[in-house]
Amino acid sequence: MLSKEVSPLLFSIILVFCILGTVVFAVSRKITEEMSSSAIHNLSESLVLIRGTIEAILMKESEFQQLIAQEIAMMDDPEEFVSTYNRNQTMVKMSIILEGKTEGVSNTSENFSEEGLDFSAGETVGGLPISQSYLNDMGTWAYTMKCPIIRDGEKIACLYIEYIYDSFDEALPEGFYNGSAMLYIMDAESERLVLKPKGMGERNAGHVNLEDFYRANRILEEDLQEEVAECIDQGKDIMFYHDIQEQHSLIYMWAVNDGAIYLIGYVPIEAIQQEGRTVNQNILVVVIVMLVAFFLCCLLYYLNQRQQMRVRKEREKEREMHNKQLAEALQAAQVASNSKTMFLSNMSHDIRTPMNAILGFTALLGKDAENPSKVREYTNKIMASGQHLLSLINDILDVSKIESGKVVLTIGEFTIEDLMSSVDTIIRPMANAKGQNLHTSVTGLKHEYLEGDETRINQVLINLLSNAVKYTPNGGNIWFRIIGLEQYSSQFEHIRFEVEDDGYGMTQEFLKTIFEAFTRAENSTTNKVQGTGLGMAITKNIVELMGGTIEVSSEVGQGSLFRVELELRILDEQGIKKEEDKAEEDMEEFSLEGLHLLAAEDNEINAEILLELLDIEGINCEIVENGKLAVERFANSEEGEFDAILMDVQMPIMNGYEATKAIRRLEREDASKIPIIAMTANAFAEDVKEALDAGMNVHVAKPIDMELLRKVIYQCMQRKD
């Protein structure tokens, strides 16, 4: 009887649990499908954001190139501008071909032709044709945009700029689906895989092209490949499932720039369904517990629902964070592009101003060549404009070196008296020209001879004082004070440099950004002052590099006060003085007249200027056009015929480094002894090191300072003797 009652009950329980199990199974499957669908939707959103990032970069590159083309159109010598244009991390090569010619020049010192670039696909970015992808001279995948240069409604040339795909890497996210997703960038026309962003899958799983991608992942179905090819031809997006490396995966091919390039890759379904599997495991636990006790099952089911809600919230939070990262990456790319545009705009104005003056007075110089007073006037103004242009270029180079961490301090001995004298020599004429009163004082110093980077300290003080002159009205006052403070150590002099003026002053809002690059006080008066807006940023970085501090206080209409504090090592004054009563006497007796130099210089204008400057000093100089000719001329010369060699670095056929090494290897006694002086515009610290490593004796940066060259030749001759 009991068994008869138990059987229906047991049957009912089994039936209930079967129904419940069926319901649980259906719910589990539905949750898995929904979460998979949500994950695929998230993947699509990520790909859309990546596409937007890349297209934004391409559009900014197009706008940048059109801006450069407009600037070149206003120049008398477009080829000279292009050949001397500096590279950057995004743009590695700039070339130009004049209308009616098949070859042109590049900023890589080589001839250039369109041969080898394929624009036949007809793809464009911002209206500019873009070539198929190719491996450039550095072995990096790249592409080229070309832009016509229009002057007065007529095409005068075509500008070509080569960009590298590696520049996309910094703007793209580190990866998604915890690095389990694979992503490549493919050139649609050639179907070559040109970039694999960092953090996107394992590095050893790289492929060469789409066919290799198919073959390596065993996507061999011809109908599927035909469908993909059709979508690529039409510039459409496509997703499909396939087994890859024994894992069921979702393959995606996402069109960028109307299908010119594609984002291709895959993500394992296991990664997409990870959250779904977690939910199913929890549900399974609930079902097992329900077999023990229905009440406990209900309790655990309730707890499990709370767990699911927490998982969903965490997933939503993760998705929001991921989308935020992509949005920030896109914004960073836009900010970088805007900074580039702003910088080019500033430089376009600030560089063109002294350049216009140089060109204008040069034209007047030719017109009034017979009038000595006019010639002197125009020459002085050309020199002033040239010095201003050089200061702008130096500011740009300084910021570049500071940002790349390549600034190196040159520590040496100097005196405060010499420092004060050199600064006063430069600033006082500027102040006198505006009728300003320059007050200088030195107080509290205990030692005269110190050790530090005199050039950089000089640069800091001239930046501060020249700004004081610029932003102080005619007849104003400027105070330059050097104050000895209480020493923290007996081995170091604690010095404060103060630069004060009673000029226009600055607002409190501007003081917050004064040490940031490209910032200048904006008002109707100060807007007339030219400059890059880099001086204060350079000054702060140099001061901090020397272990010092800089601070500023100012009020509008009351003037400004800058304070710089440094600690400089104290030197033995007596020994230094003796070495200097002797060095000065030797220098006074030394004369350059009668020296015979060999110079390697490929630029005709530079060579002509060099000859004239040396002729003024009574030096006989023989010019050759490249390093190879310099080696041959020295090898064929009599021993002692040349006193020294001036060696340019960037030359055709054989550069200066190679020529120096070749001379040092010659089997003649004077080959290892003759002074070889690097004479080049490459003025970075690494350039100096490379010159010395090649066997040169010393490095002198262009433009040539004859007083410095005289000192260098004297020192080289002393070492040789």
Do 401 and 545 touch, CB atoms closer than 8 A?
A: no
Q: 590-720 falls under which CATH superfamily?
A: Response regulator (3.40.50.2300)
**Distance, CA of 554 to CA of 556 (rounded, Å):** 7
Phi-psi sector, 593: left (phi>0), alpha (psi -120 to 50), beta:
beta
pLDDT digits (tens, 9 = 90+) for 372-384: 888 888 887 777 6
Reading the block at residue 132, the tokens are 């198929």
**Max avg pLDDT among 20-24, 331-335, 522-526, 653-657:** 653-657
DSSP code for 86: P
Residue 494, pLDDT score: 94
Identity at 444, one-letter amino acid code: G
**Distance, CA of 122 to CA of 132 (rounded, Å):** 10
**Distance, CA of 698 to CA of 713 (rounded, Å):** 9
Q: 412-575 falls under which CATH superfamily?
A: Histidine kinase-like ATPase, C-terminal domain (3.30.565.10)
Rounded alpha-carbon distances, angstroms, from residue 36 to 32, 287, 318, 620: 6, 23, 16, 82
Do 602 and 647 touch, CB atoms closer than 8 A?
A: no
Place of tokens 């702003």: 342
568 DSSP β-pair partners: 493
When comparing pLDDT for 193 and 576, which is higher?
193
- CA 304 distance to own-chain centroid: 53
661-680 average pLDDT score? 90
Do 643 and 597 touch, CB atoms closer than 8 A?
A: yes
626-651 average pLDDT score? 92
Confidence label for 315 from pLDDT (cuts 50, 70 and 90) = confident
When comparing pLDDT for 455 and 438, which is higher?
438
Which CATH number is 345-403's, of 2.130.10, 1.25.40, 1.10.287, 1.10.1760? 1.10.287
Confidence label for 440 from pLDDT (cuts 50, 70 and 90) = very high
228-232 average pLDDT score? 89
In terms of Cα–Cα distance, which of 696, 694, 701, 659 is closest to 680? 701
Place of tokens 């793209």: 172
Q: Poorest-confidence range of 199-208, 526-535, 542-551, 617-626? A: 526-535
659 sits in which H/E element: helix 656-664
**Distance, CA of 53 to CA of 651 (rounded, Å):** 40
Place of tokens 């490549």: 184
In terms of Cα–Cα distance, which of 671, 659, 677, 664 is closest to 714? 677
**Average pLDDT taken over every residue of the chain:** 81
At a CB cut-off of 8 Å and minimum separation 6, what does 444 contact?
483, 484, 485
- CA 512 distance to own-chain centroid: 25
Residue 346, pLDDT score: 60
Report the b/e string of 406-435 with b at 16+ CB within 10 A: ebeeeeeebbbeebbebbeeebbebbeeee
State the CB neighbour count (10 A cutoff) for residue 647.
Answer: 27
**Distance, CA of 713 to CA of 676 (rounded, Å):** 10
201-224 average pLDDT score? 76
Reading the block at residue 175, the tokens are 């990866």
Reading the block at residue 256, the tokens are 């960028």
Torsion sign across C-alpha atoms 236, 190, 44, 61: negative
Do 642 and 591 touch, CB atoms closer than 8 A?
A: no
pLDDT digits (tens, 9 = 90+) for 107-120: 888 888 988 888 88
When comparing pLDDT for 689 and 474, which is higher?
474
Residue 291, pLDDT score: 65
Q: Is residue 355's pLDDT more than 80?
A: no
| DSSP helix/strand/coil, 226 | helix
127-144 average pLDDT score? 88
Phi-psi sector, 518: left (phi>0), alpha (psi -120 to 50), beta:
left
Place of tokens 């150590």: 489
Residue 481, pLDDT score: 95
At a CB cut-off of 8 Å and minimum separation 6, what does 190 contact?
132, 133, 209
Q: Is residue 34's pLDDT more than 80?
A: no
At a CB cut-off of 8 Å and minimum separation 6, what does 143 contact?
130, 131, 132, 133, 134, 162, 163, 165, 187
Residue 584, pLDDT score: 57
Task: Give the orientation angle of helix 706-720 with respect to helix 573-589, to 10 degrees.
Answer: 100
Confidence label for 529 from pLDDT (cuts 50, 70 and 90) = very low
**Distance, CA of 562 to CA of 552 (rounded, Å):** 5
In terms of Cα–Cα distance, which of 200, 624, 206, 689 is closest to 410? 689
**Distance, CA of 720 to CA of 634 (rounded, Å):** 17
Do 445 and 493 touch, CB atoms closer than 8 A?
A: yes
In terms of Cα–Cα distance, which of 524, 432, 440 is closest to 469? 432
> What is the residue-wise DSSP string for 450-515?
EEE-HHHHHHHHHHHHHHHHHTS-TT-EEEEEEEE---SSTTEEEEEEEEEE-SS---HHHHTTTT
342-366 average pLDDT score? 69
| pLDDT more than 70, % of the chain | 77
**Which class for 19: exposed (0-12), middle (13-18), buried (19 or more C-beta within 10 A)?**
exposed
pLDDT digits (tens, 9 = 90+) for 468-516: 999 999 999 999 999 999 988 888 999 999 999 999 999 888 888 888 7
Residue 6, pLDDT score: 45
Do 599 and 593 touch, CB atoms closer than 8 A?
A: no
Q: Which value, to the nearest 10 degrees, does the dihedral of the CA atoms of residues 659, 660, 666, 668 take?
A: 130
Q: Which value, to the nearest 10 degrees, does the dihedral of the CA atoms of residues 115, 120, 123, 125 take?
A: 30
Q: 173-272 falls under which CATH superfamily?
A: PAS domain (3.30.450.20)
When comparing pLDDT for 668 and 178, which is higher?
668
Residue 342, pLDDT score: 60
∠ CA 129-131-136 to the nearest 5 degrees?
140
**Which class for 220: exposed (0-12), middle (13-18), buried (19 or more C-beta within 10 A)?**
exposed
